[in-house]
Amino acid sequence: MNIIQLPDGTIQIEDGSKPDGHVEQETTFSYERSEIEEYFIEECEKRAEETGETHFLFDTKLSHFVKRKNILNKEDRRESELSELLESDAYHIGTEMDFNMMPSRFSYYDTETKLKCRYEKYSFVLEFIKSIGFEGSEFNFGPEMEQSYILHLKEGGEEEKFVVRLQPNLFLKIIVHDDNGFTTIYNGFFSKSKIFEAIDKHSGILSKVLIRDAKLKNILS
């Protein structure tokens, strides 16, 4: 019997047996578990530095599977399958475009947190969000589900409210609540600079001071 941890954080027990009536389907695939070579991380960082965009390491098999599901043309599908045969690496470097094809997927490494462990990455993001002043909603149920964090500032006649909705794979939305209702001001993978920029553009007197202090603290750390 083999106990393994999948990249989505769940535990799976393998004893080699299959349930009665089990049929292998195209949707059945194995998560990559091999060690990530330092070469991939270095190349990932290099591309991020060159482009200014966050880069990720993804499971090559899963990426091929997702691409096949999105190809309708038989000729394009055949070309894709031939390309898969030539690509032998367990991991490949991608951008947020890869997430767009399968929003629920997880990356094995990203150049923003620079971490590989899913739960270490989640803790890193959570610590940053809380350092700005966001507080968790009483309805949060842990990192396996979407969680909400609220920044509510009120002084005299001034009032500002921001909400962060954080997904398990570190995609998040930032929502501002003002006189016009609720407006999404950022929707994408976790990024310190983009979060600061989004809130700064929609901040009032109260949050501007808070964001300035948070930026300074981030630089010093």
Higher pLDDT: 76 or 165? It is 165
Q: What is the arithmetic mean of pLDDT over 156-165?
A: 88
Q: What is the arithmetic mean of pLDDT over 80-103?
A: 71
Please give the share of the chain, as a percent, with pLDDT higher than 90: 42
> What H or E segment, with its residue span, contains residue 87?
none
Instruction: Using the predicted structure, report yes or no on whether residue 158 has a pLDDT greater than 90.
Output: no
**Lowest-pLDDT range, 48-52, 181-185, 203-207?**
203-207
Nearest to 67, CA basis, from 31, 33, 98:
98
**The token pair that represents 137 in the structure block:** 């909603």
24 confidence band (pLDDT: 50, 70, 90)? very low
- Indicate the pTM of the whole model: 0.74
37 confidence band (pLDDT: 50, 70, 90)? confident
Instruction: Using the predicted structure, report yes or no on whether residue 8 has a pLDDT greater than 50.
Output: no
pLDDT at 34: 62
Domain boundaries of the chain, sorted by first residue? 2-14+34-111, 119-220
28 confidence band (pLDDT: 50, 70, 90)? very low
pLDDT in tens, 179-203: 788 999 999 999 999 999 999 888 8
pLDDT at 194: 95
pLDDT in tens, 162-179: 999 999 999 999 999 887
**What value does the mean pLDDT of the chain take?**
79
DSSP string, 23-65: ---TT--PPP-SPPPHHHHHHHHHHHHHHSS--EEEEHHHHHH
**The token pair that represents 127 in the structure block:** 């610590």
pLDDT at 32: 55
Query: 119, exposed or middle or buried, with CB in 10 Å at 0-12, 13-18, 19+?
Result: exposed
**The token pair that represents 112 in the structure block:** 């923003």
Do residues 141 and 153 make contact, with C-beta atoms less than 8 angstroms apart?
no
